[in-house]
Amino acid sequence: MDWYGPTDFLTAGKKDTRTNLIGGDPETHPDAARKASPMTYVSKNAAPFLIMHGTSDPTVDFNNGLGFYNALRYNGKNAVLLAPAAVVHWRDWAEACRRLGRTGEARAALPAEVPLGDATFNVAHAATLALGLARGDLALIARGLEDRLHQPRRRPLYPRSMELVERARELGALGATISGAGPTVLFWVFFEQTGAVYDRLREEVGAWADVRRLNFVVQGADVAEL
């Protein structure tokens, strides 16, 4: 596993860090830098790798993780690259890993049985959402986003996310829902309002969340043969 580590000591990031690791300036000791670089030893005999490297890492340049991944794939090796934008270096990875553990907590928060009224409410609103999407009816879509089954019961796990869901219309969106087990929030926005909602959300969340602008793909997922 490569956990935000330098893989090419000629380009890894902060020079003082690289100098300490190889015992000299990598620019004046390129042979030593190459000898110490994991990238030098990538071959068809390499082991499979899980690479975890944040795209905003100021200590070890993200291109180290990306380049290492590409080199492994080029040599026909199994490699997985996890590259969240909001993760900077080791402190953020600790929080990211902690969040991954919340999926089990989120699932455990749901009871084995639910009140008939809540189940009926969700089935009706799911149908309303589907009809709204089929007709392009924004009012129906907004109504169909309401939920009584999983979001209220999971609120204690990610209260700040749920506060955004509850304020979605105030922020200019049609509505918002928790994506999967959370804590990601999906905002449903009419195309012309996307920019304004995006700007408001960035101001609202500050540094505690990563706001991304995504396009709605009408035909759904499309997996092209490689």
Most confident of 94-98, 100-104, 115-119, 157-161: 115-119
- Dist. CA 52–CA 50, nearest whole Å: 7
- What number of other Cβ atoms are within 10 A of residue 143's Cβ? 17
* pLDDT for the residue numbered 53: 82
Helices vs strands, H then E, count in the chain: 10, 5
Tell me which residue of 11, 165, 17, 163 sits closest to 90, measured CA to CA: 17
Residue 226 scores a pLDDT above 90: no
- Dist. CA 175–CA 52, nearest whole Å: 33
Average pLDDT over residues 163-171: 94
Residues of the chain with pLDDT > 70, as a percent, come to 83
Q: Is the model more confident about 199 or about 181?
A: 199
Tell me which residue of 83, 1, 88 sits closest to 38, measured CA to CA: 1
* pLDDT for the residue numbered 7: 87
* pLDDT for the residue numbered 16: 61
Computed over every residue of the chain, the mean pLDDT equals 83
Tens-place pLDDT, residues 1-10: 888 888 888 8
Tens-place pLDDT, residues 28-44: 888 888 888 888 999 98
- What number of other Cβ atoms are within 10 A of residue 41's Cβ? 11
Average pLDDT over residues 201-214: 83
* pLDDT for the residue numbered 225: 61
Domains of the chain, earliest start first: 2-100 (3.40.50.1820), 116-205 (3.30.70.890)
* pLDDT for the residue numbered 156: 87
Contact 64, 11 (CB under 8 A): yes
